[in-house]
Amino acid sequence: MKTKILHNPSEKDIIDYKIEEAVVGQDGEPVYEESGTRPKWTGKTYEWSIKAGENVEFPAYVADYLKQIYGFLEEGEVKEVKEEVKEAQPIEVVKTDLTPNSYKAKRLEDGQMACPFCGKVFKNQRAVALHIGVAHRDKF
Ligand SMILES: [Zn+2]
């Protein structure tokens, strides 16, 4: 997520300033309400501190908020920390245990099960297991 470094050049400590946690999208930016005026909140609240003379790295939206409240804060360099993104797996592979040998039937998006050998679609895991036991007995 995007972060910003703030510098506190004043003599004033900012301690435990409460800011609600924003919902952050994959791009690291807060997700805005449909009205577009403010970020969506997760419902959690965190406390943020930056003491006199300190440099502190904050999530970008927290840094922006603190700067609105405390106009004397100075912004340092902008960093972007890349996080690893896992690829989504659209099809869940289900291992059944209804036959002595294991095999994998594909669960389709609508919840139906596809036979891994011939591709026929069945209502549920039990139905596909029965089908495999009869039609593809030679595979075991
Ligand atoms: Zn089949």
Query: Does the reported pTM lie above 0.85?
Result: no
More confident residue, 36 or 53: 53
Ion ligand 1 nearby residues (CB, 5 A): 115, 117-118, 120, 135
What is the separation, in whole angstroms, between the first and last Cα of the chain? Answer: 49
What separation in Å is there between the alpha carbon of 136 and the centre of ligand 1? 6
Degrees, nearest 5: CA angle 75-25-16: 45
What is the secondary structure of 57-101 as a DSSP string?
EEEHHHHHHHHHH-TT-EEEEEEE-----PPP--SEEEE--SSSS
What is the distance in A from the centroid of ligand 1 to the CA of 130? Answer: 10
Gap between the Cα atoms of 127 and 115, Å rounded: 10
Q: Please write the tens of the pLDDT for every residue from 98-118.
A: 444 456 677 787 888 888 889
Percentage of the chain beyond pLDDT 70 is 79
Confidence of residue 13 (pLDDT cuts 50, 70, 90): very high
Sign for the CA dihedral angle at 61, 63, 66, 68 comes to negative
Q: How far is the CA of 139 from the centre of ligand 1 (A)?
A: 10
Cα 135 to averaged position of ligand 1 atoms, centre (Å): 6
For ligand 1, the distance from its centroid to the CA atom of residue 88, given in whole angstroms, is 27
